[in-house]
Amino acid sequence: MFFLLMTYFTSVTLPPPESYTAYKAERPIVVDGDLSEWENVPYVEVNYDIEKMKRVDNIKTFARVLWDKENLYISFQCKDDEPWATITKRDGFLWEEEAVEVFIDPKGDGARYVELGVNPLNAVDDILIIRKPKYRWLLNWNLFDLKTAVKKKKDGWDVEIAIPWWNFLSFEVPLPPVEQTWRIQLCRVERPDHKTPIWLSWSPTYQTFHKPETFGKVFFSSRQDAHP
């Protein structure tokens, strides 16, 4: 059995990480769950099933990234007949229900990264994960002045997020990261039966979202979103 497993794990070959260009928002983003400001912004699909290791088309999720001088913005459009969540408190384990998740590694070295989850009730969990020199998982760490909003719709739920850049000061990278690339992963946990999870990512990974080397490459362009 051990050898079978070894064969399985060593034969895992993933497609290379995805790439995305995040444009500068040409008008103010109002974090209210209404995504009309995002209409012309290129989207990616969060549809890589990390257990089946392939893209699926029965669960639709569209994600976008923008930025301005103050904030990093992320939006998700989740198609879902029945968005499900019960957790309302900060730092509840949102991934045990349905949620979207963002992973942010500003330096791109996998040593430290931020995990942020938002659920259909607009509850938030934010965690700083330190992998080197020693593994630490800081649930009490918070993103300050974070803004999130969720809008329920007939066919799903939309999420809008603004993260002030200064939350990343300790990473010692240029802020905002104009013409720089950060490693970012965009994810969704869907549980059609309220139990069995389907773990979906934008950039391909396997078994877990916590593989910073598989995060996508997001380039923050100085161009505005209307002129990509």
- Chain residues binding Ca ion by CB under 5 A are 30, 32, 34, 91, 126, 142
Bridge partner residues of 222 (DSSP): none
- 8 contacts: CB under 8 Å, gap ≥ 6: none
Range 117-135 burial, b when 16+ CB lie within 10 A, else e:
bbbbbbbbbbbbbebeeee
Residue 198's nearest CA partner among 126, 115, 98 is 98
Q: How far is the CB of 43 from Ca ion (least distance, A)?
A: 15
Residue nearest to Ca ion (CB): 126
Task: CB nearer to Ca ion: give 167 or 205.
Answer: 167
Task: CB nearer to Ca ion: give 142 or 221.
Answer: 142
Q: How far is the CB of 77 from Ca ion (least distance, A)?
A: 12
Catalogue the long-range contacts made by 191-194 (C-beta closer than 8 Å, 24 or more residues apart). Answer: 191/84, 191/97, 191/98, 194/84, 194/97
Task: CB nearer to Ca ion: give 32 or 109.
Answer: 32
Q: How far is the CB of 157 from Ca ion (least distance, A)?
A: 14
Q: How far is the CB of 28 from Ca ion (least distance, A)?
A: 9
Does residue 166 sit in helix, strand or coil?
A: helix
Task: CB nearer to Ca ion: give 50 or 127.
Answer: 127
